[in-house]
Structure 1
């Protein structure tokens, strides 16, 4: 994992920042001239916590085939909204794997993740979707980043915030499960960083044939679990059962 200080990148006169997407290719070319930007998935938006900044996530093709399968690197950056100069960024090689479970999109999450006084995180959500009709699968993960002045740090990695999967016969009979997780800020812990309180809600259903032509869906009882993620001085470690593998 490589981290970089602010870069004095020079750009041509910048466009109006109402449409930051026009600069995604420029940033990608400046940072990684040998890699190809997966432009259909690249995103950016003004930082609501500091409107002088723009946030962006750039997935880059490493060994991706014509069907979109392979490895993608990911560069997440903060740029000055007036000049377009990159303030800080975080690059991770092979951050996204797309195979039978395909990489299907990403978004920037700018909810109020106030981790400590004067330190607010933002997130990148990555979606994967399965290709099997009789074994449907989808997942969305959340990674949090903070800009502490000179560098952008990833402090929470690949927390699964939603997942659904099932197995059925393609007609009626089958079982389906879904998990949703939400984050809330807890009390300050080590180094003044708030604990992350994770609430997990699990639901499920079973479909069974009823008569010759009908299909009955039976809902299972909802289950709720709660977890806490503690800051260890560098990041919030996500337990194996809560992260995307």
Structure 2
């Protein structure tokens, strides 16, 4: 019996060493050869290995990418959805979300340091990274000052897979509270198609007309989808 126990212990130790060795090889490739040498699932695998000890995290990494469809979708998925994937826990969810938070902070820096209209591509990159893969609709309002610098980026509402509320009165009221002279409306289409709906067009018209009476301009309404984005101003809808 002791010999059998020793064999099990040795086998377990060997497996641990193999897993640590594999993780170390991923680390060395990342540090010495750059992130481009790692596949998407290997990036997730290494990240998970930092929080899930003594376990092969490759299967879980592959499961996450298969479940959500891509690396971007894994990082932008909400914590509750990630936690439903067998094998995840609060630490692994937090590790994925902190990477997303850091990436969004980095991407959004240009638009926070200069007028939004002169850092338009940075704004679009930020919005796509944050909203393109959401499974429900989210409405946010960017409030700008007279120099078109960002005063506040606020979440107005979260809805279902096919709708989220935008209230004209609340948008304009908040703009007045912040001393904002211009706004940019943003929401995503969870379906992935960024084509504006009839309701999107009507609501934007109502907000623009209400804002004009109070000196608040609507610079644009941007719809984010997996297929890209739609700008109302570019489409001549504003």
**TM-score between both structures, scaled by the size of structure 1:** 0.30
Which has more radius of gyration?
2
Greater strand share, 1 or 2? 1
